Amino acid sequence: MKKTIHSDDYQILVTWLKSSRHKKGLSMRELADKLGVPHSWIGKVEQMERRLDVVEYMRLCQCIGIDPVEGIALIQARMFPPK
Residue 59 DSSP code? H
* CATH at residue 55: 1.10.260.40
Question: Average pLDDT of 4-21?
Answer: 92
DSSP three-state, residue 3: coil
pLDDT of residue 82: 78
pLDDT of residue 80: 86
Q: Give yes or no for a contact between 78 and 9, defined as CB atoms under 8 angstroms apart.
A: yes
pLDDT of residue 1: 60
Our count of domains for the chain comes to: 1
Q: Measure the N-to-C terminal CA separation of the chain; round to a whole number of Å.
A: 25
Expressed as residue numbers, the domain containing 27 is: 4-79
Q: Give yes or no for a contact between 75 and 54, defined as CB atoms under 8 angstroms apart.
A: no
